[in-house]
């Protein structure tokens, strides 16, 4: 595994996560940010985290699979918000979407750190 590749993917994930969080908050507050900007940045974050998970799959299988699962759930919940008339709990969906975004970036950080340490796998 190339450590530089994981480092670059993680930096892209961090930056896109921060920008997606800001764009999502600005859209939610009605500040005129296009929803597609938030979705594009979030998609870049998810793809970057899936890359980190793929790199960590052979060394930290359980953690990498957990990261991949959470990263895939983030856009699924985001898309569920677009179907608001079908769901009575849109605010709950929004809160869970943001919380999973935080969990995804956190799992990416943990996986990258554990891959770098090279210690015995915990998961």
Query: Which tens digits make up the pLDDT trace of 42-87?
Result: 999 999 999 999 999 988 899 999 999 999 999 999 998 888 666 5
The answer to whether 6 and 55 have CB atoms below 8 angstroms apart is yes
pLDDT at residue 42 in the model: 97
**Dist CA 3 CA 83 (whole Å):** 40
Reading the block at residue 89, the tokens are: 């709990």
Percentage of the chain beyond pLDDT 90 is: 72
Please state the three-class secondary structure of 26-68 as a single string.
HHHCCCCCCHHHHHHHHHHHHHHHHHHHHHHCCCCHHHHHHHH
User: Long-range pairs for 75-80 at CB < 8 Å and ≥24 separation?
Assistant: 75/39, 75/42, 75/43, 75/46, 78/39, 78/42
Nearest Cα residue to 73 out of 91, 92, 106, 98: 98
Q: Which residue has the higher pLDDT, 123 or 42?
A: 42
- What is the pTM assigned to this prediction? 0.88
């Amino acid at each position: 595994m190339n450590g530089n590749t994981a480092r670059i993917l993680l930096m892209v994930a961090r930056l896109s996560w921060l920008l997606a969080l800001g764009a999502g908050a600005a859209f939610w507050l009605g500040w005129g940010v296009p929803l597609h900007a938030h979705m594009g940045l979030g998609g870049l974050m998810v793809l970057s985290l899936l890359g980190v998970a793929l790199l960590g799959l052979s060394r930290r299988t359980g953690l990498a699979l957990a990261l991949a699962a959470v990263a895939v759930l983030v856009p699924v919940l985001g898309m569920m918000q677009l179907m608001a008339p079908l769901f009575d709990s849109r605010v709950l969906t929004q809160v869970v979407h943001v919380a999973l975004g935080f969990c995804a970036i956190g799992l990416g950080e943990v996986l990258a750190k554990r891959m770098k340490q090279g210690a015995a796998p915990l998961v």
